[in-house]
């Protein structure tokens, strides 16, 4: 195999007098092929020599002579770059796998593309990622299985490297790409679940979103950030936990009369030595004792796929049912005096009891449970080399749950019969709601301890433990089964994982919303977290005092209100079934009957009063700028806004229109606060006035997501006219956004979307300096209030204009 491209690597000539075999005493020194390979490699790196023989024998066995020549040539060039032994070792290990995956002819072109990319890395600050690229090539090539797709993969990697490599002064690249090593480490696994185009979309999103934020970029490509998992979910098949959270909660309530907070668990974890590795996430059940009783939190994988004919929702449901069974039927055990093997056996026995009860009480779970149980078989563990206690417990557990699975081991059959004798009758008692003759966790634990003592084998002391087919993915980690007295419960001052901040104790769980990325032309999924909570009250009298200051305006508004109130009635005539008889039509029908004509049977009518059918959602910007003094006034912008909102609420209360009031501020996309002040069904009374009086501005203005959240309830209203009013003194902004147009385009996208859904959106702008940006968001649907003293009257008049 030869290379004639301008970018081809050429083998440098060996210096005169150089010795190609520095140590002829090596075990392979007299093997002609291996010796020829060592001479062609011409590598003096100490770390390469110990592994060379194994790599050489494998390459000679797998490659043709022409491919073998290119193999030595590539390794020689990498060794001469001065980047250490890692690139050479990765090349020797994984390149034969690439050649086998692509074939001899395509491997030649792949060689040129790979070497060209490696040379670019070598000349950039990203030389440390050369070994990662070569390590990913083997499994990636096997997964993609073609030259064109592998070239597309290499092009994506190179393009990403160019986009994310930084510089201090903007002239020359000096900062390595933070996400490139993690991207290459994750690529083989992600391409097992994503198409190449899906993987490219995932990479492109991370490059755009975090190009100037290296720490967040590293977290994204290491699958440590929720955004990464959300985009990954968007590009793959499967289901997110948040999509089924409500369904699972309803299942718990209906089947167990139980409420539990659901916590998403990431599907990857970090290993300090080997980077991010994929792991199977076990559910976990967290308990917290409070003055009101025990609260529960169920940790579940944040994303699941269908498996073995069982849908992702059914997998989630099985996990939740198993943990609910523990809550109902399990009690903690004191673990201080028990060995790890004893605790392991107790957990298996108790998990099996819970599962056995579930399929006895709800037989519909049997199919999913048995389909997902690992396919363990007797004899699957070699006791000569491995400890088989986990395998033994897995076989025993399957024999209990699956009546068709018959074990040959007499000990396992005996303990199955003893277990069945213990729990027999419990399912019937539970189904009838009786607590008599219930089997306790302590009884199951005693049986498990006897199992450990009677079935112990010499191989259980082996250092290597057999884990294959022993992880049952719907079972939780059983941390709730154990209590440790030695540390002292009263001395534990560490915060609970489920304990929230004081402000969040009275709030709803965060809602995730997308944001519009105008540069990409698509939404960033699950990008913003919104916490909604009931605003704490102050003194309702403060709002009454504000209204007294506008007594004259209230009188003028009262006259307008009288004009807006419906005065007439509507009449629908010529009905067969109406509320009353229409005398005129009835008289005409009687005349037709007397004159020999066919009379009309539609002689009834229906009269009903004319009613207003309007729902208004008012969204108040409560960013820190509202604390400033209003121009030409001794009041702050907040105080004038409170007067205006109070006056509008009073007017709508007089009209009988539905009004909801909310306020918002933001402190990065992870913490957007939406304060509930008044709901549509709440009357204008002291509780609402007290919340309005207690408003305190803070932080920034992430307007688009606040409008999304506020409109969610408004859209569901059955009103004929739906109006959303935004009261703000600034343009959209937040501390974690550097592009001034980003949030403005997002808010504009939200406004257009709501208008398409029949919601009329109008903005009341309180600061003339931002009029251009506000008009870009709302178009002509905005009103500028340049004199703050006129805001109450302007707001009320505007509403009357919109609803007339």
State the pLDDT at residue 221. 92
Query: For the chain, how many residues are written?
Result: 804
Closest CA to 107 of 59, 56, 158: 59
Contact 353, 359 (CB under 8 A): no
Is the pLDDT at 256 greater than 50? The verdict is yes
State the pLDDT at residue 13. 39
Is the pLDDT at 184 greater than 90? The verdict is yes
Is the pLDDT at 213 greater than 70? The verdict is yes
Closest CA to 356 of 400, 320, 404: 400
Where is pLDDT greater, at 295 or 782? Answer: 782
The residues with which 265 forms a beta bridge, in sequence order, are 301
379: region left, alpha or beta (phi > 0 left; psi from -120 to 50 alpha):
left
H or E element: which one contains 542?
Answer: helix 540-548
Overall pTM surpassing 0.85 (yes/no): no
Burial class (CB in 10 A: 0-12, 13-18, 19+), 764: buried
Residue 349's CB is within 10 A of a number of other CB atoms, namely: 28
Is the pLDDT at 566 greater than 70? The verdict is no
Q: What are phi and psi of 666, to 5 degrees?
A: -140, 150
Q: Which of 417-426, 553-562, 734-743 has the lowest mean pLDDT?
A: 553-562
DSSP β-ladder status, 511-517 and 482-483: unpaired
pLDDT bracket for residue 295 (50, 70, 90): confident
Burial class (CB in 10 A: 0-12, 13-18, 19+), 586: middle
State the pLDDT at residue 574. 81
State the pLDDT at residue 535. 87
Q: Across all residues in the chain, what is the average pLDDT?
A: 81
* Residue 794 structure tokens: 């302007």
Arithmetic mean of pLDDT, 695-719? 91
DSSP 8-state secondary structure symbol assigned to residue 521: T
State the pLDDT at residue 280. 52
pLDDT bracket for residue 435 (50, 70, 90): very low
Arithmetic mean of pLDDT, 209-223? 88
Is the pLDDT at 195 greater than 90? The verdict is no
pLDDT bracket for residue 325 (50, 70, 90): very high
In percent, how much of the chain has pLDDT > 90?
25
* Residue 731 structure tokens: 């343009």
* Residue 581 structure tokens: 């008889």
Rounded Cα gap, residues 60 and 67, in angstroms: 10
Tell me how far the alpha carbon of residue 742 is from its chain's centroid: 22
Is the pLDDT at 486 greater than 70? The verdict is no
Q: Which residue has the tokens 């009783």?
A: 293
Arithmetic mean of pLDDT, 570-575? 76
Is the pLDDT at 230 greater than 90? The verdict is no
Is the pLDDT at 643 greater than 90? The verdict is no
Helix (H, G, I), strand (E, B) or coil at 69: helix
Contact 617, 710 (CB under 8 A): yes
- What does the pLDDT look like over 442-482, one tens digit per residue? 999 999 999 988 888 888 888 888 888 888 989 998 988 98
pLDDT bracket for residue 433 (50, 70, 90): very low
State the pLDDT at residue 372. 93
Where is pLDDT greater, at 354 or 558? Answer: 354
Rounded Cα gap, residues 612 and 561, in angstroms: 12
Helix (H, G, I), strand (E, B) or coil at 767: coil
pLDDT bracket for residue 240 (50, 70, 90): low
Contact 85, 48 (CB under 8 A): yes
Contact 216, 210 (CB under 8 A): yes
107: Cα within 13 Å, side-chain hemisphere: 25
Is the pLDDT at 272 greater than 60? The verdict is no
Is the pLDDT at 494 greater than 60? The verdict is no
DSSP 8-state secondary structure symbol assigned to residue 282: P
The answer for residues whose C-beta is within 8 angstroms of residue 695's C-beta and 6 or more apart is 535, 620, 622, 638, 642, 663, 675, 677
Q: Which of 260-274, 363-377, 453-467, 677-691 has the lowest mean pLDDT?
A: 260-274
Rounded Cα gap, residues 218 and 227, in angstroms: 12
Rg of the chain in Å (alpha carbons): 36
Arithmetic mean of pLDDT, 366-377? 92
Where is pLDDT greater, at 656 or 281? Answer: 656
Arithmetic mean of pLDDT, 481-489? 65
pLDDT bracket for residue 492 (50, 70, 90): very low
The answer for residues whose C-beta is within 8 angstroms of residue 214's C-beta and 6 or more apart is 166, 175, 178, 179
State the pLDDT at residue 281. 66
Residue 655's CB is within 10 A of a number of other CB atoms, namely: 19
State the pLDDT at residue 676. 92
């Amino acid at each position: 195999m030869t290379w004639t491209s301008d970018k081809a690597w050429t083998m440098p000539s060996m210096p005169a007098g150089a010795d190609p075999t520095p140590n002829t005493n090596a075990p392979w020194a007299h093997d002609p092929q291996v010796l020829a390979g060592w001479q062609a490699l011409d590598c003096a790196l100490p770390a390469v020599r110990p592994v060379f023989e194994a790599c050489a024998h494998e390459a000679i066995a797998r490659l043709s002579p022409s491919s073998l020549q290119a193999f030595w040539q590539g390794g020689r060039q990498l060794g001469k770059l001065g980047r250490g032994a890692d690139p050479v070792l990765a090349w020797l290990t994984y390149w034969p796998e690439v050649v086998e995956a692509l074939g001899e002819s395509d491997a030649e072109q792949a060689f040129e593309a790979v070497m060209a990319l490696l040379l670019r890395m070598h000349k950039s600050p990203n030389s440390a990622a050369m070994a990662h690229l070569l390590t990913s090539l083997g499994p990636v090539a096997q997964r993609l299985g073609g030259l064109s797709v592998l070239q597309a993969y290499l092009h994506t990697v190179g393009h990403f490297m160019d986009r994310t490599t930084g510089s201090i002064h903007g002239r020359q690249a000096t900062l390595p790409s933070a996400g490139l090593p993690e991207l290459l480490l994750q690529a083989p696994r992600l391409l097992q679940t994503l198409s190449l185009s899906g993987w490219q979309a995932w990479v492109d999103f991370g490059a755009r979103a975090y190009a100037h934020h290296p720490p967040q970029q590293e977290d994204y490509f290491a699958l440590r950030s929720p955004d990464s998992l959300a985009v990954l979910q968007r590009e793959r098949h499967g289901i997110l936990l948040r999509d089924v959270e409500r369904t699972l909660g309803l299942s718990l309530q209906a089947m167990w009369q139980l409420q539990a907070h659901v916590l998403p668990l990431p599907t990857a974890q970090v290993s300090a030595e080997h980077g991010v590795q994929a792991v199977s996430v076990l559910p976990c059940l967290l308990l917290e004792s409070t003055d009101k009783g025990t609260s529960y939190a169920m940790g579940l994988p944040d994303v699941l796929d269908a498996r073995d004919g069982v849908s992702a929702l059914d997998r989630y449901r099985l996990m939740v049912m198993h943990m609910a069974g523990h809550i109902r039927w399990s009690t903690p055990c004191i673990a201080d005096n028990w060995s790890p093997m004893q605790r392991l056996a107790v957990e298996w026995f108790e998990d099996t009891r819970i599962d056995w009860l579930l399929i006895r009480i709800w037989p519909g779970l049997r199919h999913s449970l048995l389909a997902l149980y690992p396919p363990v078989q007797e004899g699957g563990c070699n006791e000569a080399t491995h400890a088989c206690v986990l395998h033994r417990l897995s076989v025993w557990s399957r024999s209990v749950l699956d009546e068709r699975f018959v074990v040959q081991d007499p000990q396992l059959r005996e303990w199955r019969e003893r277990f069945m004798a213990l729990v027999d009758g419990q399912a019937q008692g539970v189904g009838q709601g009786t607590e008599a003759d219930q089997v306790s966790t302590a009884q199951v634990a005693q049986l498990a301890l006897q199992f450990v003592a009677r079935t112990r084998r010499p191989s259980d002391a082996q250092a290597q433990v057999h884990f294959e087919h022993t992880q049952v993915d719907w079972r939780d980690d059983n941390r709730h089964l154990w209590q440790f007295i030695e540390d002292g419960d009263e001395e534990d001052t560490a915060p609970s994982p489920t304990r929230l901040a004081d402000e969040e104790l009275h709030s709803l769980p965060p809602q995730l919303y997308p944001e519009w990325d105008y540069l990409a032309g698509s939404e960033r999924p699950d990008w913003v977290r919104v916490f909604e909570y009931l605003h704490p009250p102050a003194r309702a009298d403060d709002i009454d005092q504000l209204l007294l200051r506008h007594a004259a305006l209230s009188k003028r508004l009262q006259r307008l209100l009288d004009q807006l109130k419906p005065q007439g009635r509507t009449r629908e005539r010529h009905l067969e079934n109406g509320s009353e008889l229409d005398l005129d039509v009835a008289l005409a029908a009687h005349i037709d009957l007397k004159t020999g004509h066919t009379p009309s049977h539609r002689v009834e009518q229906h009269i009903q009063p004319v009613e207003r059918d309007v729902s208004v959602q008012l969204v108040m910007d409560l960013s820190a700028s509202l604390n400033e003094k209003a121009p030409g006034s001794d009041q702050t912008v907040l105080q004038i806004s409170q007067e205006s909102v109070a006056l509008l609420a009073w007017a709508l209360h007089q009209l009988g229109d539905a009004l909801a009031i909310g306020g918002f501020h933001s402190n990065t996309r992870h913490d957007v606060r939406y304060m509930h002040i008044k709901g549509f069904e709440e009357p204008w009374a002291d509780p609402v006035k007290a919340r309005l009086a207690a408003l305190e501005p803070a932080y920034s203005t992430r307007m688009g997501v606040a409008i999304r959240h506020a409109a969610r309830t408004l859209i569901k209203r059955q009103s004929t006219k739906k109006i959303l009013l935004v009261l703000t003194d600034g343009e959209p902004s937040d501390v974690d956004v550097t592009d001034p147009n980003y949030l403005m385009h997002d808010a504009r996208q939200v406004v257009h979307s709501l208008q398409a859904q029949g919601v009329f959106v109008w903005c009341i702008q309180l600061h003339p300096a931002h009029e251009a940006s506000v008009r870009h968001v709302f178009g002509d649907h905005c009103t500028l209030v340049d004199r703050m003293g006129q805001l109450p009257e302007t707001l009320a008049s505007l509403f009357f204009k919109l609803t007339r």
